[in-house]
């Protein structure tokens, strides 16, 4: 087994040693009230909390509260409290899509901009508890919009800018959001994204579904001509002129909602994951500090998009709560060329770099010289997130990008967990390529078999977490029963992650991937049921089944089995039409990689699609189809194998 031991130079710099980790971890699980009571003070409270943990995973009573009688404001913690000490320090370092464009926003400027946007929202009637939807490119105004909402106690719902009008409409309607903040266009890899046009279509669709958006606040990014609805649309630069740069932060209860973030699950409709104020902020800030071994003055870069949870916790809230300089990148890793990440690291002297395995694999394929022609001497810690990282990519990241000078933190977590749960700590944890290593403070992972029996020691099984941590989601927005059903009913009394994992002889955790009908495509989480419902909404499609298959760059690719309506002829043109249709329904991230026309799908006699078989065929591993005796029509399998799209 390849183990990379902590180097002396990492130890010398690190805030915590391995002994510290062990001692802190023990205390965090033996005395959570004492441990979190102390660390809860890392943020500024308006009214200090007197209660720490009040949580229940008991069937019928899923109730999660942390610091419940304390009050605070997240924006004040991310901005105002830094003004005295670091008002002139850069808060957001923005790097544009075009390498000639960048700018630095100080904490003082951030304060003024966020207050202005908060006042602009207030002027349009937004108040505490209202939902504000944010559909933005990676520009500083996206962070202003999140922080402005938090400042006035509104609940933000950020929707990734790559989602389609349909997907945006569903989220506007789901959250009954009266306000949408967007931009004229986005800019990525030299190409424009028609955000305002999409937003208009989304508003039309939402209106037809019965929810009319009242205000659309539009940031000018590219200056393109965009359609305009006078009674509804407002230019940010015009509203900004009239808005005061002073807006007192709203006093929020620790358990008041901070944001909703829609994410995919096993069922068709994305769920609105709800995070609250106090516990989330404490957990995001604390993990940011210790997982990345963040020191004052470090330049920190997370390449995620603010549309995903990683962007929430580790571009905006964690780093800003810690008074860090957080780099925000508008572009993509291969524009103008595949050296871009490493050039940006040199340009801004980045110390901590956090990205996804899919990007690492893609850049690994571009050749070492794209990396080695840059310096990267500023780097101290490298991180990955979003999907399992294969040891080959890990080693390349470690050797070629980091030149064996920087530890890699492989951080496992989820939208639902709010922050990192399983991870090494730089300078404390010996590393094993491909393993997320050990639990963060307060996190108790447990493997269970399919019957729910807990597995001790070296084992492989379904990954659960047995007790609450402060960053945990509190509910599914508007549907607490579904929250219990989704996460606490499979294994009663435990939070079930949906992931499979192994635990080795050193107590190290290895995430093996999802065990439910969620796939992970380029680090984007997707429900196979969502893609299926997009496919069957096409008039020529009668039935569809979607599975993931191993993909060299994306981690998993999307493989679709499609049965056509009576009288429809399969063709290459129709495949293209279906791919375009799914992009239109969900967005480009859901583009099918393979479509196989299937006269029939393998079903049990009770009509249930046997996905296990479809997965095997998609993997070109049909020698191991397993038991097919329960199939209603075993012959359909022969046709699927015969016409499979993936042949090794």
Place of tokens 């209660």: 51
**Nearest one of 308, 347, 307 to 327, comparing CA atoms:** 347
The answer to whether 538 is annotated as binding is yes
Among 280, 317, 394, 412, binds ligand WTA (CB under 6 A): 412
The string of DSSP codes covering 262-297 is EE--SSSSPEEEEEESHHHHHHHHHHHHHHTT--TT
Contact call for residue 305 and ligand WTA (CB under 6 A):
no
Beta strand extents in 330-484 (DSSP E only):
352-355, 381-385, 408-411, 445-448, 454-455, 459-465, 475-476
What is the nearest approach in angstroms of ligand WTA to the Cβ of residue 596? Answer: 25
Residue 368, marked binder = no
* β-bridge mates for residue 560, sequence order: 546, 595
Shortest separation between residue 313's beta carbon and ligand WTA, angstroms = 8
Scan residues 428-457 and list those touching ligand WTA (CB under 6 A).
Answer: 436
Considering the complex, state which of residue 509 and residue 561 has its C-beta at the smaller distance from ligand WTA.
509
Establish whether 343 is an annotated binding residue: no
Instruction: Out of 140, 170, 388, 402, name the contact with ligand WTA by CB under 6 A.
Output: 388
Tokens 């700590």: give the residue.
425
List Cα–Cα distances, 451 to 454, 461, 646, in angstroms: 9, 10, 34
Question: Which positions from 310 through 349 interact with ligand WTA, judged by CB under 6 A?
Answer: 310
**Rule CB under 6 A: is residue 464 a binding residue for ligand WTA?**
no
Of 106, 263, 339, 406, the one binding ligand WTA by CB under 6 A: 263
**Shortest reach from residue 117's CB to ligand WTA, in Å:** 27
- Taking the complex as a whole, the smallest distance from the CB of residue 415 to ligand WTA amounts, in Å, to 3
Among residues 275, 288, 348, 525, the one that binds ligand WTA under rule CB under 6 A: 525
Among positions 122-161, residues that touch ligand WTA (CB under 6 A) are: none
Closest to ligand WTA by CB, 179 vs 464, is 464
Establish whether 86 is an annotated binding residue. no
User: Which of 288/514 has CB closer to ligand WTA?
Assistant: 514
**Is residue 185 near ligand WTA by the rule CB under 6 A?**
no
Q: Is 499 in the site for ligand WTA (CB under 6 A)?
A: yes
Q: Which of 49, 236, 308, 354 binds ligand WTA (CB under 6 A)?
A: 308
414 is in an annotated binding site: yes
Residues 6+ apart with CB under 8 A from 638: none
Considering the complex, what minimum distance in angstroms separates the CB of residue 258 from ligand WTA? 17
Binding window for ligand WTA (CB under 6 A); candidates: 239-247, 324-332, 398-406, 511-519: 511-519
**556 bridge partner residues:** 550
* Beta strands 299-302 and 454-455, pairing class: unpaired
> Is 549 an interacting residue with respect to ligand WTA (CB under 6 A)?
no
Piece of the chain touching ligand WTA by CB under 6 A; list 136-144, 384-392, 577-585, 630-638: 384-392
Among 62, 309, 316, 321, binds ligand WTA (CB under 6 A): 309
- Dist CA 498 CA 187 (whole Å): 34
> Which of residues 266 and 630 has its CB atom nearest to ligand WTA in the complex?
266
Please tell me whether residue 410 binds ligand WTA under the rule CB under 6 A: yes
Residue with tokens 């390498």: 99
User: Is 226 labelled a binding residue?
Assistant: no
Residue 541 marked as a ligand binder: yes
Give the count of residues interacting with ligand WTA (CB under 6 A).
Answer: 23
236 or 509: whose CB is closer to ligand WTA? Answer: 509
Q: With respect to ligand WTA, which residue has the nearer C-beta, 113 or 499?
A: 499
List Cα–Cα distances, 553 to 47, 166, 377, 501, in angstroms: 49, 28, 27, 22
Q: Which is nearer to ligand WTA, 177 or 497 (CB)?
A: 497
Shortest CB 273 distance to ligand WTA, Å:
8
Q: Which of 435, 602, 590, 603 is nearest to 519 (CA)?
A: 590
> Whose CA is closest to 420, among 496, 300, 318?
318
294, 352 Cβ separation under 8 angstroms: yes
- From the CB of 416, what's the least distance to ligand WTA, in Å? 7
- Residue from 93, 180, 359, 385 touching ligand WTA (CB under 6 A): that is 385
387 binds ligand WTA (CB under 6 A): yes
Long-range contacts of 76-82 (CB under 8 A, 24+ apart): 76/44, 76/151, 76/249, 77/43, 77/44, 77/281, 77/321, 78/147, 78/150, 78/316, 78/317, 78/320, 78/321, 79/107, 79/110, 79/111, 79/114, 79/147, 79/320, 80/111, 80/249, 81/44, 82/107, 82/323
d(CA 26, CA 627): 46
**One of 292, 413, 469, 483 touching ligand WTA (CB under 6 A):** 413
User: Three-state SS string across 527-566, please?
Assistant: EHHHHHHHHHCCCCEEEEEEEEEEECCCEEEEEEEEEECC
Residue 583 labeled ligand binder: yes
Q: Which is nearer to ligand WTA, 263 or 351 (CB)?
A: 263
Phi, psi of 22 (to 5 degrees): -60, -45
Comparison of 414 and 568: residue with beta carbon closer to ligand WTA: 414
**Does 521 sit near ligand WTA (CB under 6 A)?**
no
Rounded-to-integer distance, Cα 317 and Cα 310, Å: 10
Q: Are 361 and 553 in contact (CB under 8 A)?
A: yes
388 is in an annotated binding site: yes
Regarding 265 and contact with ligand WTA (CB under 6 A), the answer is no
Q: Which residues, 44 to 103, sit near ligand WTA by CB under 6 A? A: none
Between 71 and 263, CB nearer to ligand WTA:
263
532 annotated to a ligand binding site: no
Burial of 223 (0-12, 13-18, 19+ CB in 10 A): exposed
Instruction: Tell me how far apart the alpha carbons of residues 208 and 203 are, in angstroms, rounded to a whole number.
Output: 9
Give the number of other Cβ atoms within 10 Å of residue 283's Cβ.
30
H helix intervals, 124-277 = 140-152, 165-174, 195-208, 236-242
DSSP state, 158? E
Which of 511, 545, 560, 586 is the binder for ligand WTA (CB under 6 A)?
A: 511
CB of 302 to ligand WTA, least distance (A): 11
Is 96 assigned to a binding site? no
Return the bridge partners of 325, or none: 299
For ligand WTA, the closer CB: 512 or 643: 512
Among 157, 411, 437, 468, binds ligand WTA (CB under 6 A): 411
Under a CB-based contact definition with an 8 Å cutoff, are residues 174 and 262 in contact?
yes
The binding site for ligand WTA (CB under 6 A) comprises 263, 308-310, 385-388, 410-415, 436, 497-499, 511, 513-514, 520, 525
Could you tell me which residues are annotated as the binding site for Mg(2+)?
A: 536, 538, 541
Annotated binding residues: 188-191, 310, 334, 386-388, 410-415, 499, 514, 522, 525, 536, 538, 541, 583
Q: Which residues make up each annotated binding site for CoA?
A: 188-191, 310, 334, 522, 583
């Amino acid at each position: 087994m390849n183990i990379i031991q902590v180097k002396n130079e990492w130890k010398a710099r690190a805030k915590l040693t391995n002994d510290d980790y062990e001692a802190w971890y023990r205390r965090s699980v033996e005395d959570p009230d004492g441990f979190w009571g102390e660390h809860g003070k890392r943020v500024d409270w308006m009214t200090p909390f007197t209660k720490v943990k009040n949580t229940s995973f008991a069937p019928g009573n899923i109730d999660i509260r942390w610091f419940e009688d304390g009050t605070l404001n997240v924006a004040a913690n991310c901005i105002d409290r830094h003004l005295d000490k670091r008002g002139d320090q850069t808060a957001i370092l923005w790097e544009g899509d075009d390498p000639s464009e960048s700018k630095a926003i100080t904490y003082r400027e951030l304060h003024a901009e966020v207050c202005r946007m908060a006042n602009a929202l207030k002027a349009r009637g937004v108040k505490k508890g209202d939902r504000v939807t944010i559909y933005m490119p990676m520009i500083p105004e996206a962070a202003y919009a999140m922080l402005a909402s938090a400042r006035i106690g509104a609940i933000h719902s950020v929707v990734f800018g790559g989602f389609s009008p349909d997907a945006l409409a569903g989220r506007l309607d789901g959250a009954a959001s009266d306000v949408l903040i967007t931009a004229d266009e986005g800019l990525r890899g030299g190409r424009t994204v028609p955000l305002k046009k999409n937003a208009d279509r989304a508003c039309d669709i939402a209106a037809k579904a019965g929810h009319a958006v009242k205000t659309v606040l539009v940031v000018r990014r590219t200056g393109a001509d965009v359609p305009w609805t006078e009674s509804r649309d407002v230019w940010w630069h015009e509203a900004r002129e009239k808005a005061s740069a002073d807006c007192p932060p709203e006093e929020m209860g620790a358990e008041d909602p901070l944001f909703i973030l829609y994410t995919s699950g096993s069922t068709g409709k994305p769920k609105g994951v709800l995070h609250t104020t106090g516990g989330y902020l404490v957990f995001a800030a604390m993990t940011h500090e210790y997982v990345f071994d963040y020191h004052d003055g470090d330049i920190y870069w997370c390449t995620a998009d603010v549309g995903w949870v990683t962007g929430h916790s580790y571009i905006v809230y964690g780093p800003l709560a810690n008074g860090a300089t957080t780099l925000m990148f508008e572009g993509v890793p291969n524009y103008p060329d595949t050296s871009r990440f490493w050039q940006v690291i040199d340009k801004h002297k980045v110390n901590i770099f956090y990205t996804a395995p899919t990007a690492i694999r893609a850049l690994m394929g571009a050749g070492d010289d794209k990396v080695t022609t840059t310096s990267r001497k500023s780097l101290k810690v490298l991180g990955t997130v979003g999907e399992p990282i294969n040891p080959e990519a890990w080693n390349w990241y470690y050797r070629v990008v980091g030149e064996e000078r920087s530890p890699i933190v492989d951080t496992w977590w989820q939208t639902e967990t709010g922050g990192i749960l399983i991870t090494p700590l730089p300078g404390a944890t010996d590393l094993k390529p491909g393993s997320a290593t050990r639990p963060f403070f307060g996190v108790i992972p447990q493997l269970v078999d399919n019957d729910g029996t807990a597995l001790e020691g070296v084992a492989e099984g379904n990954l659960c977490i047995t007790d609450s941590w402060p960053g945990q989601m509190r509910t599914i927005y508007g549907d607490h029963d579904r929250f219990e059903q989704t996460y606490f009913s499979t294994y009663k009394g435990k939070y079930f992650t949906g992931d499979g994992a192994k635990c080795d002889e050193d107590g190290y955790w290895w995430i093996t991937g999802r065990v439910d009908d969620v796939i992970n495509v380029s680090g984007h989480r997707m429900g196979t049921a969502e893609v299926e419902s997009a496919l069957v909404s096409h008039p020529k499609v009668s039935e569809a089944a979607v599975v993931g298959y191993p993909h060299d760059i994306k981690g998993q690719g999307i493989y679709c089995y499609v049965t056509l309506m009576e009288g429809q002829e399969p063709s290459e043109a129709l495949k293209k039409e279906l791919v375009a249709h799914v992009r239109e329904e969900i967005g480009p991230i859901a583009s099918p990689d393979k479509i196989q026309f299937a006269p029939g799908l393998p079903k049990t006699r009770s009509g249930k699609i046997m996905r296990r078989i479809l997965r095997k065929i998609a993997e070109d591993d049909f020698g191991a189809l397993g038991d097919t005796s329960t199939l209603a029509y075993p012959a359909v399998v022969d046709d699927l194998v015969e016409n499979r799209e993936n042949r090794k």
